Amino acid sequence: MSYTGSAPASSSLYWKGMESSGDPHPPILAGAQNAWDMLSDEQSQKHITTGSGDLNNILGGGIHCKEVTEIGGVPGVGKTQLGIQLAINVQIPVEYGGLGGKAVYIDTEGSFMVERVYQIAEGCISDILEHFPHSHDVRIVIIDSVTFHFRQDFDDLALRTRVLSGLSLKLMKIAKAFNLAVVLLNQVTTKFTEGSFQLTLALGDSWSHSCTNRLILYWNGNDRYAYLDKSPSLPVASAPYAVTGKGVRDAVSSNHKRVRVT
């Protein structure tokens, strides 16, 4: 058994580009990148903070750009609050550790309350003590909620599945092409599995594969918790968080230091 190794410099396959980039492999595909270059790109990526240090920790620093993150939970647990908080936190200037970008908030249910947005924006500014300069590109797209229009009036479930999978591919493409984060808020529904009714995210089994990361928000007694259910690089973990007048912050009982963006 023998395996071909890297081409020695004297072989007939010596490639002109090798001098500039040092890469011994000639490009096989036009648009592809090798894993080492992707690693360097990834390490220079900034994450969008959620406002809660514990939540940022389980997410690996915050919401990632170039990925589609799904956030689901029962009504009232704070999905829209988190969505609004992210729309504001993406605008934190680069000097303060943020992305300095714009947000696009797509509201399908009418739950976007402008007065609450003003409150949360004021809360964020008071923590940073500075005005926000004009931001440049869109860095986050939030859809609240992606389930709403698909739950009623869709008689043909197979058609719904096809439309949803087409939609998720388009969102993945936008996230990658424009280097922005896509956040999808999802409702819960009951499902009959293993002899009992359980709460699961809406839109069925095939939709559960259409995101890069999944965060499930739930109640544990009187406290709100977030559970990272799906991620390509992070382990599953839970973290508590709280929704205060100023927005999403660490839970009161948390040992984590107050998130101070300096």
Partner 1 sequence: MSATRGRSGGGATTSGCGLKRRNAPQDQEDSKMMNQDQPSTEDWCGRFWNGMELLKDVTEKKHFLPTGLEGIDTLLGGGLRQGQLTEITGPSSSGKTQVCLHCASNIAAKQMGVVMYLDTSNSFSPSRVATIIYGISDLFGQRGFELQPKDARLKSVMRSIICESVFDIFALFEVLHQLEVSLLNDKVNNGGSKVCLLIIDSISSLLAPIIGGKYPQGRSMMISVAVILKKLADEHNLSVLVTNHMVSAGNGAVKPALGESWKAVPHVRLMLSRECQNNICTATVLKHTLMASGRTAKFAAPS
Q: Give all strands of the β-sheet with 68-73 in edge-to-edge order.
A: 102-107, 138-144, 181-186, 68-73, 213-220, 223-230, 237-244, 247-249
Cis peptide before 145 (omega within 30 of 0): yes
Residue 110 or 235: the one with the smaller Cβ distance to partner 1 is: 235
Of 167, 122, 176, residue with least CA distance to 143: 167
In the complex, least distance from residue 22 CB atom to partner 1, rounded to whole angstroms: 9
Residue 233 or 255: the one with the smaller Cβ distance to partner 1 is: 233
Residue 3 or 258: the one with the smaller Cβ distance to partner 1 is: 3
Residue 137 or 238: the one with the smaller Cβ distance to partner 1 is: 238
Residue 193 or 222: the one with the smaller Cβ distance to partner 1 is: 193
Residue 17 or 245: the one with the smaller Cβ distance to partner 1 is: 17
CA atoms within 13 A on the CB side of 52: 27
d(Cα 238, Cα 252) in Å, to the nearest integer?
A: 16
Of 77, 86, 24, 110, residue with least CA distance to 187: 77
In the complex, least distance from residue 11 CB atom to partner 1, rounded to whole angstroms: 5
In the complex, least distance from residue 19 CB atom to partner 1, rounded to whole angstroms: 16
Contacts 24+ apart (CB under 8 A), 86-90: 86/48, 86/50, 86/140, 86/142, 86/181, 86/183, 87/117, 87/140, 87/142, 88/117, 88/120, 88/121, 88/124, 88/247, 89/48, 89/49, 89/50, 89/51, 89/124, 90/48, 90/139, 90/140, 90/181
41 contact partners, CB below 8 Å, separation of at least 6? 33
Residue 191 or 246: the one with the smaller Cβ distance to partner 1 is: 191
In the complex, least distance from residue 9 CB atom to partner 1, rounded to whole angstroms: 12
260 contact partners, CB below 8 Å, separation of at least 6? 127
In the complex, least distance from residue 68 CB atom to partner 1, rounded to whole angstroms: 7
In the complex, least distance from residue 168 CB atom to partner 1, rounded to whole angstroms: 7
Catalog residues that contact partner 1 under the rule CB under 8 A: 1, 3-7, 11-13, 23-26, 28-36, 38-39, 41-43, 66-68, 158-159, 161-163, 165-166, 168-170, 172-173, 175-176, 191-194, 204-206, 208-212, 214, 229-230, 232-233, 235-236
In the complex, least distance from residue 261 CB atom to partner 1, rounded to whole angstroms: 24
